[in-house]
């Protein structure tokens, strides 16, 4: 099985790679280096005795960059599963700093229109969609393997920075566990190719008032590394025919 792991930035991709190394995965010698000595964006990881090959690709921040980068990769190489991975915000009381969330649903939380009565999701406007589901068994298996919380992850184009905005999101999505900026874009691209998607978020901050002094980005990246050190067996026990 071939898996594409999509991150927003290189630091997240490096954390994923470090976790895969713990699981015994490594790039083939020379394959991850260009003639000029630099590394291309996409890095392939293999492990002896393992049936899963994993490509890791940083594509940029936000759902548009995520969708475009994922779609380009899927057009070039056949995959069986796409994983959106990185750090994100956790809703207080649900996903604490340093914890992991595996998305049961990937939701475009601000795709729609404003109105005097409040926000109208795109589905209420009568066109488009605002959510996609992960394969149930894979989500549950991955969450157990990682010690993560399974739950909806919201994709936003503007990260939440106030208590009012956090409350508004929870009013519309009361079971939401986390917020990030790429998952739904990755999922839309994957769905265009008929592929299942999984989203894994390591929590670096609380969704709410923007307080950079309280962020724990290093802890979240370390948690992401730990997650990918444990993920391959869950992938190996699942097949694309089960989504």
Summarised one tens digit per residue, pLDDT across range 136-195 is 999 999 999 999 999 999 999 999 999 999 999 999 999 999 999 999 999 999 999 999
- What is the mean predicted confidence (pLDDT) over 46-56? 88
Domain count across the chain: 1
- CATH code of the domain in which 65 resides: 3.40.50.1580
Residue numbers of the domain that contains 211: 2-242
Q: Which residues contact 148 (CB under 8 A, 6 or more apart)?
A: 99, 100, 101, 102, 142, 200, 227
> Please, which contacts does 168-174 make with residues 24 or more away whose CB atoms are closer than 8 Å?
168/119, 169/109, 169/207, 170/91, 172/109, 172/119, 172/121, 173/107, 173/109
Asked whether the predicted pLDDT for residue 38 surpasses 50, the reply is: no
Asked whether the predicted pLDDT for residue 72 surpasses 90, the reply is: yes
- What is the mean predicted confidence (pLDDT) over 6-23? 95
Digit-coded pLDDT (tens) for 100-109: 999 999 999 9
Query: In this predicted structure, what is the pLDDT of residue 138?
Result: 95
């Amino acid at each position: 099985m071939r898996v594409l792991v999509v991150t927003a930035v290189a630091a997240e991709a490096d954390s994923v790679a470090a976790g895969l190394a713990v699981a015994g995965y490594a790039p083939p010698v020379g394959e991850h280096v260009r003639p000029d000595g630099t590394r291309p964006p996409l890095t392939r990881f293999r492990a002896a005795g393992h049936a899963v090959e994993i490509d890791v690709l940083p594509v940029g921040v936000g759902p548009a960059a995520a969708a475009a980068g994922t779609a380009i990769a899927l057009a070039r190489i056949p995959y069986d599963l796409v994983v959106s991975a990185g750090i994100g915000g956790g809703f207080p009381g649900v996903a604490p700093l340093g914890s992991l969330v595996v998305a049961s649903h990937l939701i475009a939380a601000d795709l729609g229109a404003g109105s005097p009565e409040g926000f109208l999701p795109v589905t209420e406007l009568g066109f488009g969609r605002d959510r996609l589901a992960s394969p149930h068994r894979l989500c549950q298996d991955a969450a157990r393997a990682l010690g993560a919380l399974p739950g909806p992850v919201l994709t936003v184009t503007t990260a939440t920075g106030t208590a009012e905005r956090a409350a508004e999101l929870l009013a519309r999505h009361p079971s939401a566990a986390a917020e990030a900026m790429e998952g739904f874009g990755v999922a839309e691209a994957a769905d265009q190719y008929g592929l299942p998607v999984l989203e894994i978020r390591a929590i670096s901050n609380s969704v709410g008032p923007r307080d950079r002094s309280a962020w724990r980005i290093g802890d979240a990246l370390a948690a992401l590394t730990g997650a990918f050190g444990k993920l391959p067996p869950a992938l190996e026990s699942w097949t694309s025919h089960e989504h």
